[in-house]
Amino acid sequence: MPEPSVFEELRRANALLAREAEAAYRDVAERLARVPVVIRVDDEVLFVRASARGIDVRRGPGPARVEIATTRALLADLLEGELSVLDAVVNGRLFLRGSVDDLLALERAIGAYLHGAIRVPRFESLLAAFVAATRRERLASEIAHERPKAGCSP
Amino acid sequence: MIAETRLQASLDRLLRVRGPGLSFDAATPHKEWLHFAVHGPEVDAVVNFSVVTRDPTSARDRDAARVGRLAVLVHTDRWQGNIERCADTALAVRRNGTRLVLGEGRLELRNGRFFLEATLARTGLALGLELEPITSPVQIRDFALDGGPPMSWLVVPRLLATGWVRHRGGTVWLDRAPAYHDHNFGRFVWGANFTWEWGYALPRDPRVPWSLVFVRISDRARLSDFVSGLFVWFGSTPERAFGANELEIEHEGLLRQERLLKVPGVLGLLSPGTDTDVPRRLVVRARRGSDRVEAAFEAHTVAQILVPHERDPGLTAIHEVKGRVCVRGAIAGTALAFESPSVFEFLRA
């Protein structure tokens, strides 16, 4: 599993949002309270649910109303503006399952999260570190796949 | 020689980074940015150095008291670019404001010239330019955005840029290419009730003596203007300043494109889609007595810089729009007739 994991990144981000953008954090928690989510990112599975106490992230699946499946590479591309959420869904790089109402509620929660996060200066370095780590993984993977294997002959 | 040295030193003082100074409105952050646009034969580039200084109101704010940002947009056959935040520790204003360091960006004023270096490692963009002003600066002091505290604006519409621009497709060398510079400083809040439209015309042919700058700062609905003007230089000298009651400004059509670069990318998630209300054509007509100038800007392509509002959850979109300006008219009996590359800016809040 790549380090740091999405689980750790998300918990760190949530703690930062709670500490430095408390109103946004409470808004997100309120919006997420009725939409528990399972997120599958590469080999990781996370269960996210919220209550008046805050946003809770655990490893493993749970009783979700919405499921998201994607990759770290896609998350980095979205954060860098390389493509839109709509493009990602249409291209099959982002899988979403849930009722329309629940998906819209999740979209509003993510919007509230981002509006809070972009106003916290420390988020910029958190996002930059995540994107840089993901790009390094991609590069390493590409190099590994290009390297000729010893002993192979045409 | 002594007179020239004094003139250059005086220019360095005028063009330098100002800093926040003392203010009775310390609750409003001080903002200062130095903006450059360069037009090479195969490349157009926009570079913006900005510094926001806020008076810390809590321990939490302390590390965000001063934030530098470096924005670089380059257009070849498409837009490339980004905006990067620079930590306070990598931000320095030195030599009485004539040297600014923002992480991998450096801007120095020396002998009346700008020396600019900017690198955005993640996008593969870098520039190294020497910019020589060939028109005198004009400074507009103490105008207010939405009745707020005063802002100041300084513009050098025509410079010659020599150096290089590196992008993902290669490196372009520039030799005395036309360039533009403006410098804004003062206290205002992103998301307040203002918008602006801003542009310039500077001919590639050095024999053409004219250059001009258009500015219009309006309320959010663009129903009333706070400031508007068309400033015309002849050679190095400011020749005419047409005021609001001497201008007619007309928008035609809407610019549309399939893809729209938005920086920083993460803000694009909050502002999806490619529609903007940037006009396909903007025409400014100025008239005073027998003097008349018409500047018609044809928009070709746009990139968007997004800025979070400071006191509400909205976003301001600054559209950098590459196009051409066609200028016609006459001032004091001398004809103006030239075309110019340009990057107009349309800010919508």
- pLDDT surpasses 70 at A147: no
Residues in chain A closer than 8 A to B60 (CB atoms) = 20
Chain B residues whose C-beta sits inside 8 Å of any chain A C-beta:
60, 63-64, 67, 85, 87, 122, 261-270, 272, 308, 310, 313
- pLDDT surpasses 60 at B197: yes
- Closest-CA residue of B relative to A75 is B266
> Could you tell me which of B44, B10, B229 has the C-alpha nearest to residue B133?
B10
What are A96's two structure tokens? Answer: 């979403």
What are A106's two structure tokens? Answer: 């999740």
Q: In the predicted model, what is the mean pLDDT of chain A?
A: 90
Give the pLDDT score at B2: 56
- Which residue type occupies B8? Q
Which string of DSSP letters, residue by residue, matches A105-153? HHHHHHHHHHHHHTTSHHHHHHHHHHHHHHHHHHHHHHHHHHSPPTT--
- Closest-CA residue of A relative to B265 is A81
Cα distance between residue B321 and residue B44, in whole Å: 11
Measure the N-to-C terminal CA separation of chain B; round to a whole number of Å: 48
Mean pLDDT value across residues B117-137: 94
- pLDDT surpasses 50 at A10: yes
| pLDDT band of B14, cuts 50, 70, 90 | confident
A85 three-class SS = helix
Cα distance between residue A136 and residue A130, in whole Å: 10
Q: For A111-115, B190-194, B254-258, which range has the lowest pLDDT when averaged over its residues?
A: B190-194
**Nearest CB neighbour to A78, from listed B263, B269, B310:** B269
- The C-alpha angle A14, A19, B306, rounded to 5 degrees, equals 70
- Closest-CA residue of B relative to A109 is B270
Residues in chain A closer than 8 A to B261 (CB atoms) = 81
Give the pLDDT score at A3: 67
Mean pLDDT value across residues B150-170: 94
Quick one: which H or E segment has residue A45?
strand A44-51
| pLDDT band of B136, cuts 50, 70, 90 | very high
Mean pLDDT value across residues B264-271: 94
Chain A residues whose C-beta sits inside 8 Å of any chain B C-beta:
20, 78-82, 84-86, 110-111, 114-115, 118-119, 121-122, 124-125, 127, 131-132
- pLDDT surpasses 70 at B174: yes
**Nearest CB neighbour to A118, from listed B67, B87, B266:** B266
Mean pLDDT value across residues B4-27: 70
Give the pLDDT score at B5: 66
Residues in chain B closer than 8 A to A126 (CB atoms) = none
- Closest-CA residue of B relative to A135 is B122
- Positive or negative, the CA dihedral A98, A100, A101, A104 is positive
B105 beta partners: B102
**Nearest CB neighbour to B270, from listed A82, A114, A122:** A114
Number of residues in chain B = 349
Give the pLDDT score at B55: 67
Residues in chain B closer than 8 A to A131 (CB atoms) = 122
Is-contact B314 B191, C-beta < 8 A? yes
Give the pLDDT score at B13: 74
Could you tell me the residue ranges of all domains in chain B? 1-188, 189-349
The per-residue pLDDT for range B332-341, each reduced to its tens digit, is: 999 999 999 9
Mean pLDDT value across residues B198-205: 95
Q: SS3 for chain B, per residue?
A: CHHHHHHHHHHHHHHCCCCCCCCCCCCCCEEEEEEEEEECCCCEEEEEEEEEECCCCCHHHHHHCEEEEEEEEEECCCEEEEEEEECHHHEEEEHHHCEEEECCEEEEEECCEEEEEEEEHHHCEEEEEEEEECCCCEEEEEEECCCCCEEEEEEEEEEEEEEEEEECCEEEEEEEEEEEEEEEEEECCCCCCCEEEEEEECCCCCCCCEEEEEEEEECCCCCCEEEEEEEEEECCEEEEEECHHHEEEEEECCCCCCCCCEECHHHHCCCCCCCCCCCCEEEEEEEECCEEEEEEEEEEEEEEEEEECCCCCCEEEEEEEEEEEEEEEEECCEEEEEEEEEEEEEEEC
The domain made up of A6-135 is a member of CATH 3.30.1050.10: yes
The per-residue pLDDT for range A17-58, each reduced to its tens digit, is: 999 999 999 999 999 999 999 999 999 999 999 998 899 999
- Which residue type occupies A141? S
B137 cis-preceded (ω within 30 degrees of 0): no
**B274 to chain A, closest Cα gap in Å:** 11
Interchain pair A80, B262: CB under 8 A: no
Query: Quick check: do B1-188 and B189-349 share a fold?
Result: yes
| pLDDT band of A153, cuts 50, 70, 90 | very low
DSSP 8-state secondary structure symbol assigned to residue A57: E
| pLDDT band of A151, cuts 50, 70, 90 | very low
What are B170's two structure tokens? Answer: 């290669």
Optimal mutation site among B266, B267, B309, interface A, most CBs of chain A within 10 A: B266
Q: What are the backbone angles phi and psi of residue B55, rounded to the nearest 5°?
A: -80, 115
ipTM value of the model? 0.86
Interchain pair A127, B67: CB under 8 A: no
Cα distance between residue A70 and residue A67, in whole Å: 10
> Could you tell me which of B249, B319, B32, B239 has the C-alpha nearest to residue B154?
B32
Interchain pair B122, A132: CB under 8 A: yes
Number of residues in chain A = 154
**B260 to chain A, closest Cα gap in Å:** 10
> Could you tell me which of B266, B342, B161 has the C-alpha nearest to residue A131?
B266
- pLDDT surpasses 70 at A154: no
Interchain pair A121, B67: CB under 8 A: yes
The per-residue pLDDT for range A126-139, each reduced to its tens digit, is: 998 999 899 888 77
The per-residue pLDDT for range B70-88, each reduced to its tens digit, is: 999 999 999 999 998 887 7
Interchain pair A121, B64: CB under 8 A: yes
Is-contact B66 B52, C-beta < 8 A? yes
> What's the CATH fold of domain B189-349?
AttH-like fold (2.40.370)
Give the pLDDT score at B6: 64
Q: In the predicted model, what is the mean pLDDT of chain B?
A: 90
Q: What are the backbone angles phi and psi of residue A64, rounded to the nearest 5°?
A: -100, 155
From the options 2.60.120.10, 1.25.10.10, 2.40.370.10, 2.60.40.1930, give the CATH code of B1-188.
2.40.370.10
pTM (two decimals): 0.90
Could you tell me the residue ranges of all domains in chain A? 6-135
**B272 to chain A, closest Cα gap in Å:** 7
Q: How many CB atoms lie within 10 A of CB B160?
A: 19
- Which residue type occupies B102? L
- The C-alpha angle B146, B147, B151, rounded to 5 degrees, equals 85
**Nearest CB neighbour to A124, from listed B63, B85, B270:** B85
**Which of A2-6, B119-123, B266-270 shows the highest mean pLDDT?**
B266-270
